[in-house]
Each structure stands twice: as structure tokens, then as C-alpha cells.
Amino acid sequence: MKKRYLSTLSFVPLVCSCTTFVQPIKKLRAVSEETRPADSRKLEEEGYREFKDKFTSFGIELSAALAARDQEGRVGDSNFAVSPISIELCLGLAARTAASSTREEILSAFGLDFATFDSYYQTFFDSHYSLGTSNRDNEDILYGIELLNNSIWIDRHARSNDECLDALATNYRCESFEADFAGQNKEANQRISEYISEKTKGLININPQLSVDTLYAILNTIYMKDIWREGAKLPYAGSEFRFLNPNGEYSSKQLRRGYYATGKAHHEESFSCFHTHTQAGYGIYFMLPSVGHSAKEVFTASNIETMLSNDSYQIYSEDMAERYNTRCIFPEWTAESNMDLMATLMNDFGIRSMFDVSADFSPLSQDPLICSEVHHVAKLEVGEHGIEGAAVTYMSYETTSYIEYPWVDVYEDFIVDHEFGFAVTSPKGGIMFSGLVDNIM
């Protein structure tokens, strides 16, 4: 029998398209796209807090590992961005379809056991899913949008286990479609491309180019959009700033002036950091390297953890006479990536079995399967109106307290005037996007 391999996972923003898609396969139901409130009881459980913390920790490690390989994923001269949360959610689908050491390796990277992972994946997913809030001045304008979608595309000749597919639909919000990868490969890839485009609201168009040997393709897509404030654009900060480019030369740039946030910028020998926030609470954290250091050099897991920690930002002076407030003054930017993730998952996180002939995907299929690639595409735009980003991660399997003090408010600026690392966090937990910016147009 010819060997079959799992296809790439990719995270990409894509263009909307009105297209007729393949229908869900027998015994599998489509997943509703209506807002699904997360189980409030589970949100308060200690197990869920552990799950969310582990997801964030893995996202931090993943952000650093992929930034270290940024040249492999940069698109031309663009800045670099990935979506850790999309990759994590897709790996979660892979874990559910796997067994034995294949599943154990994936979950070990997260630091979670299967019972915990299986119990809280849906809660985490649903807590993030939001159709957005209408602008009070214009009902056609939505903000705070966070759309997550999981899907599995199954070759018409695959021998699937219905119990696994039903569990994916019920507990992992994963809809199922039938495709003919072997007989109508071009059409199958076109349908998946249109699906990704529709789910990511037109930010990215890609053809996954899944091979004729594909039996299963697992995809996660995300789309997010938010504004800075209702009815307000983020203003320029007045006069132009001298932006230090990576080549050592300065250029004049107009920077945007964010809103004040409580706290004082954190400074260390090699970097400084602070954050700003959107209307719905998405945090944009800036890591600014010190003179003599590059953004890539300082964008390590330990530094990212420091950047994202509330404890890093002093709010009051030692004698409580002052309360600090800081605003970020930063450039507009776009960033994107298009990269294979296999080497990172194998070398940095020890996930190897799924790419080997020893892979065990028996919960999903009666056919022996192997994962041949994991691919990620992402795009993020930060501008005067707010932030917008999308991603798709796809893989294919082939066979084989508050106290009042008499303080004085102190207001400061955190000026982002040279290359920097960044992370965009969700108010529900997790890192939506992260990356490096060194090219400001």
C-alpha cells in the first residue's frame, strides 16, 4: 500500500467568498456559528484555570521558538507574525485523533493530561468565540469579534471511525466535510481554499495544495477584529518621530498615540516593555530592545513571560504618593507569516511520533496514518481604527483589590521608535498573535 501522510497545518487570513462547499459526511453534523456561551461553572474550576495557564505558557514558548526561525516564515520584506492560539487549537484536534505515544507527545508539550485537555478544550474554545458587539452609533459596525472554526476534511475513500468524528463535532466544535483528494484533487483544494477565505473574512488567500495521497486534512481558522474606542480613530502623536531602523539609519515617522493605561513601563538591561488595550480588552504588548540589542535577540520565552505579567508594571510609588499611568506611542504596522511548523514542533517541543511511521491515529481511522507537514499562515494589521488579524493552521494525514490613597497621578509615554517584538493577548486568555516588527513603511 502506498504511504499516506498528514498534511500541513496553516494559519492564514483569507478573502470572503460565496461558494457552495462540500456537504458534511454521513453521521456528522455542522457546528453552529451562533455565539456559544462557555459553561460558567467550568470557567471557575481550578482545572480550567490550569488548562488556560498551560495554553498561555505553551503560547509563550511557541512565540519565542517561531520568532527564532522568523526568516523561514517571513513573506518578502514583511514583518513577522504568527498566531499561537491557532496552532494550539489545531494541535488539540490532532491530540484527539491520536492515541498512545503520539497523543502523549502532543499533550506533554502542553503539560496536560488527556482527561484535563478533553474536558476543557470546548470551554476554552467557546469562551473565545464572539460574533462582536454593535457600535452604539452604527449597528453595521461590529467590534470585539473573535471567530474560531475547526474542521476536518475527509477523503471519500477513508475508513473513518464515527465515534471519533462525533466527539470532534460535539466536544471540539469541529465540522466535517467530504473531499475527493485522489480523484478530484484540484477541486478539493479549491473548496478548502474558499472555505478558509470565507472563515477568515478575506485577509488571506492560499491554496493548501494537499496531495492526492491525503486522507484527512485538519484545519483551524481564526479571525479577530477590534477598535480602539467607539467612534474614535487613534490620533497621531503630533510631530514626527525619528524611528531607528535595524540598519542603524533613522527615518521620520508619524506615530499613533494610544490611551493611558495604569502602570509604569518595565525596564531591564536588554529591553523595556509596556502595553495598550483595545475597546474589548485585547492587550497589545510591546517589547523594545535596548541599544545594542535586536528585537529577535530579546524576544525570548522568559522575556515574553515578563512582558505579559501584570507584576512587571509598577502602579504606585513606594510611599504611595504617586500612581503611574503610561500611554504607548507606536507606529502602524502589518505583519504576516507563511511557514512550515514541523521542525519547530519536533526540535523545540519533542513532538515527533506523529511525523513517523510509528504514528498512532487509530481513534480517527482504520487506515495507518502519518502527518507529513504542519503549516501556518497568519496576518495582522494594526492601524488608526484598531486591529484585525486572521490565521489558518492546517495539517493533512496520509496513510501510513483596590485601596484609596492620596496619590498624585503621574502620566508618562512609552515611545516605540525602533524595532520591537509584540504580543496580542485575548481578554479570555491566550496569545492571539506575536512577532517581530522591523520594517515600518
**Is residue 192 located within the same domain as residue 262?**
no
pLDDT mean across residues, the chain: 87
Question: Containing H/E element for 194?
Answer: helix 185-199
Bridge partners, 93 (sequence order): none
**What is the pLDDT at residue 23?**
42
One-letter identity of residue 182: A
3-state secondary structure of 25: coil
Domain count for the chain, please give it: 2
**Is residue 316 located within the same domain as residue 391?**
no
**Is residue 173 located within the same domain as residue 70?**
yes
For the ranges 92-96, 127-131, 182-186, 376-380, which has the lowest average pLDDT?
Answer: 127-131
What does the angle CA 370 – CA 176 – CA 391 come to, to the nearest 5 degrees?
A: 75
Query: For residue 406, what pLDDT band results from cuts at 50, 70 and 90?
Result: low
Query: For residue 7, what pLDDT band results from cuts at 50, 70 and 90?
Result: very low
Tell whether the model's pLDDT for residue 24 goes beyond 60. Answer: no
**Is residue 276 located within the same domain as residue 151?**
no
CA 250 to chain centre: 32
**Is residue 328 located within the same domain as residue 338?**
no
In a domain, 431, yes or no: yes
Please tell me the number of Cα atoms within 13 Å of 179 on its side-chain side: 29
Mapping DSSP onto H, E and C, the string for 37-89 reads CCCHHHHCCHHHHHHHHHHHHHHHHHHHHHHHCHHHHCCCCCEEEECHHHHHH
Tabulate helix, strand, coil % of the chain (nearest 5).
Answer: 30, 35, 40
**What is the pLDDT at residue 420?**
86
In a domain, 132, yes or no: yes
**Is residue 420 located within the same domain as residue 358?**
no
Tell whether the model's pLDDT for residue 103 goes beyond 90. Answer: yes
Whole-angstrom Cα distance, residue 82 to residue 329?
23
* Percentage of the chain exceeding pLDDT 90: 68
CA 294 to chain centre: 23
In a domain, 215, yes or no: yes
**What is the pLDDT at residue 397?**
96
**Is residue 350 located within the same domain as residue 308?**
no
User: How many CB atoms are located within 10 Å of the residue 347 CB?
Assistant: 12
Tell whether the model's pLDDT for residue 25 goes beyond 60. Answer: no
Whole-angstrom Cα distance, residue 36 to residue 304?
31
pLDDT tens per residue, range 249-299:
888 989 999 999 999 999 999 999 999 999 999 999 999 999 999 999 999
3-state secondary structure of 16: coil
In a domain, 1, yes or no: no
In a domain, 232, yes or no: no
**What is the pLDDT at residue 131?**
74
**Is residue 97 located within the same domain as residue 205?**
yes
In a domain, 308, yes or no: yes
**Is residue 157 located within the same domain as residue 221?**
yes
Whole-angstrom Cα distance, residue 374 to residue 149?
17
In a domain, 234, yes or no: no
pLDDT tens per residue, range 177-233:
999 998 899 999 999 999 999 999 999 899 999 999 999 999 999 999 999 987 788
* Mode of pairing for the β-strands spanning 79-82 and 420-425: unpaired
For the ranges 21-35, 162-176, 255-269, 300-314, which has the lowest average pLDDT?
Answer: 21-35
**In contact, 178 and 25? CB cutoff 8 Å:** yes
Domain of residue 102, CATH code? 3.30.497.10
Residue 281, domain extent: 241-332+403-437
pLDDT tens per residue, range 45-58:
999 999 999 999 99
Domain of residue 312, CATH code? 2.30.39.10
pLDDT tens per residue, range 71-91:
999 998 899 999 999 999 999
**What is the pLDDT at residue 27?**
36
3-state secondary structure of 364: coil
**Is residue 383 located within the same domain as residue 298?**
no
Residues 6+ apart with CB under 8 A from 255: 236, 237, 241, 243, 329, 330, 331, 415, 416, 417
**Is residue 322 located within the same domain as residue 366?**
no
**Is residue 356 located within the same domain as residue 250?**
no
Backbone angles phi, psi at 418, to 5 degrees: -155, 180
In a domain, 114, yes or no: yes
One-letter identity of residue 326: T
One-letter identity of residue 296: K
